[in-house]
Homo-oligomer: A and B are copies of this chain.
Amino acid sequence: MDLLLQNLVSPIVLAFLLGALARWVKSDLEIPDAIYQGISIYLLFAIGLKGGIAMAETPLDALVLPVGATILLGVITPITAFFLLKSFARLDRINASAAAAHYGSVSAVTFVAAIDAAKSAGLPAEGFMPALVAVLEVPGIIVALLFARQSRGGGIKAALHELVVGKSIFLLLGGLAIGALCGPTKMESVTPFFIDPFKGVLCLFLLELGMVAAKRVRDVREAGWRLIVSGCLLPLFHGLLGTLVGHLVGLSPGGAAVLGAMVGSASYIAAPAAVRMALPKASPGIYLTLSLGITFPFNLGVGIPVFLAISKTLESVLP
């Protein structure tokens, strides 16, 4: 409980709430498009670079298990999401698989918020986690699209291309590669730009995210309780699964909780674009509302501290 409150009163969460407030009071506050895009390029590239620097210092075989587990989780989560959304939330096949693609992928901001919360809670995560983000982005979307049993034009192949060379994965992988090739010493000179101000920039980003999410609140109200409950249950279930698996493959308690947050999160940048191209008949009103209107704030406010608490407990329970 204390962890929960502790987590809520942080610059990141408050900036998100401030953004939402801006919409509710109809402020004319507006982050220009170009700035928003510039910030998101910065964040993704910086996440990659930071992960790459860490990878340069990690023996490769320490990565094998976590990467394997992450791929596995990326395959499982869209399946559970699809069936829950189809049966419990009563979405049709197309909309269920479209939304499942989002749950199969990962939200970079949730990831970063989790990294940060873990650090604040004295449970720092492994430095190579950003590599897992890159790994988790793709398989879930592919699996989910298979469920749709239909897709436009180039279909899954086109969506796959869209994904892999899409800017978020491209920047993440690019950053990882540069960071790993250069290593900590050579990266020192870019640290004052990519590492030190990172969290402040993230605050600005969350201001914007709050504004965008607030636009979805009306949609959330219309969505009906079944959708809302699904949008909370899925991250919880996936998150616990991720945390548990994280422990099993030997991650630190912080790392396991962060893996939980990643697995529990729903993408709202890479996935929507890919899904829109592959399944144009699916309603963005459903998948964006689920991922950005419900699951994202849920994880930010509740999920992350819960995964951290569970992970701490698991540590003392597991051998």
Instruction: With a 10 A CB-CB cut-off, give which of A27, A30, A196 has the most chain B CB atoms.
Output: A27
Interface residues of A in 1-50 (CB under 8 A from B): 9-11, 14-15, 18, 21-22, 25-35, 37-38, 41-42, 45
What's the nearest-Cβ distance from chain B to residue A68, in Å? 26
Contact of A204 among B18, B26, B41, B204 (CB under 8 A): B41
Residue A152 interfacial (CB < 8 Å): no
Contacts of A170 in B (CB 8 A): 22, 25, 27, 29
Residue A281 interfacial (CB < 8 Å): no
Contact of A190 among B32, B178, B199 (CB under 8 A): B199
**Are B186 and A27 interface neighbours, CB within 8 A?**
no
Contacts of A203 in B (CB 8 A): 190, 193-194
What's the nearest-Cβ distance from chain B to residue A30, in Å? 7
Residue A219 interfacial (CB < 8 Å): no
Contacts of A190 in B (CB 8 A): 11, 199-200, 203
Residue A165 interfacial (CB < 8 Å): yes
Contacts of A42 in B (CB 8 A): 204
**Are B204 and A200 interface neighbours, CB within 8 A?**
no
Residue A166 interfacial (CB < 8 Å): yes
What's the nearest-Cβ distance from chain B to residue A200, in Å? 2
Contacts of A37 in B (CB 8 A): 30, 32, 35
Residue A197 interfacial (CB < 8 Å): yes
Residue A127 interfacial (CB < 8 Å): no
Residue A201 interfacial (CB < 8 Å): yes
Residue A191 interfacial (CB < 8 Å): yes
Contacts of A45 in B (CB 8 A): 204, 207
Interface residues of A in 200-229 (CB under 8 A from B): 200-201, 203-204, 207
**Are B29 and A181 interface neighbours, CB within 8 A?**
no
What's the nearest-Cβ distance from chain B to residue A32, in Å? 4
Can you name 24 A-B residue pairings with CB atoms under 8 Å?
A: A9-B182, A10-B186, A11-B182, A11-B186, A14-B181, A18-B178, A21-B174, A27-B165, A27-B166, A28-B167, A29-B171, A30-B167, A32-B34, A34-B35, A34-B38, A35-B35, A35-B37, A38-B38, A190-B199, A190-B200, A191-B200, A193-B197, A193-B199, A193-B203
